[in-house]
């Protein structure tokens, strides 16, 4: 199977654009991309947590969370620079980013482990 040269060019352009965003002023990547991305991911994971547990819900949560976490770890490099100015509004953006990251991780953990917790509760009732 041959890959189109246009596909390679698009992939290379995407790979080269992301590190350039990190060279922007401190916190810009966190404020413009990181916080909104984690906010949307947390809302969607919260909605998935409300749905009845099934295999598709678990798969959707994994498909949503894996790339979100990967990109958030990259954005965390920018967010760490914001924590240097404790007491200013810039540090609050960094704290908001890491708080949303922790919330998204917690929601994902609850979705993935929900079946195990329900099975253990049912086993306890049967005894």
Encode pLDDT of 6-58 as tens digits.
766 766 665 665 555 555 577 777 888 888 999 999 999 999 999 888 888 88
Average pLDDT over residues 55-75: 90
Q: How much is the pLDDT for 114?
A: 79
Q: Report which of 112, 118, 127 is spatially closest to residue 48, judged by C-alpha positions.
A: 112
Compute the distance between CA of residue 11 and CA of residue 54 in angstroms, rounded to an integer: 34
From residue 74, how far is each of 21, 70, 113 by CA, in Å? 11, 7, 26
Q: How much is the pLDDT for 90?
A: 76
Compute the distance between CA of residue 17 and CA of residue 70 in angstroms, rounded to an integer: 16
Residue % of the chain over a pLDDT of 70? 76
Average pLDDT over residues 95-100: 90
Q: How much is the pLDDT for 105?
A: 94
More reliable by pLDDT, 122 or 86: 86
């Amino acid at each position: 199977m041959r890959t189109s040269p246009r596909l390679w060019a698009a992939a290379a352009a995407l790979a080269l654009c992301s590190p350039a965003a990190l060279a922007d002023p401190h916190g810009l990547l966190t404020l413009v991309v990181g916080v909104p991305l984690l906010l949307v991911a947390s809302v969607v994971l919260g909605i998935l947590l409300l749905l009845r547990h099934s295999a598709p819900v678990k798969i959707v949560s994994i498909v949503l969370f894996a790339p979100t976490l990967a990109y958030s770890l990259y954005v965390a490099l920018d967010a760490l620079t914001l924590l240097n100015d404790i007491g200013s509004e810039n540090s609050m953006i960094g704290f908001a980013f890491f708080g949303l990251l922790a919330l998204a991780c917690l929601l994902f953990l609850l979705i993935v482990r929900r079946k195990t917790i329900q099975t253990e509760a049912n086993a306890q009732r049967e005894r």
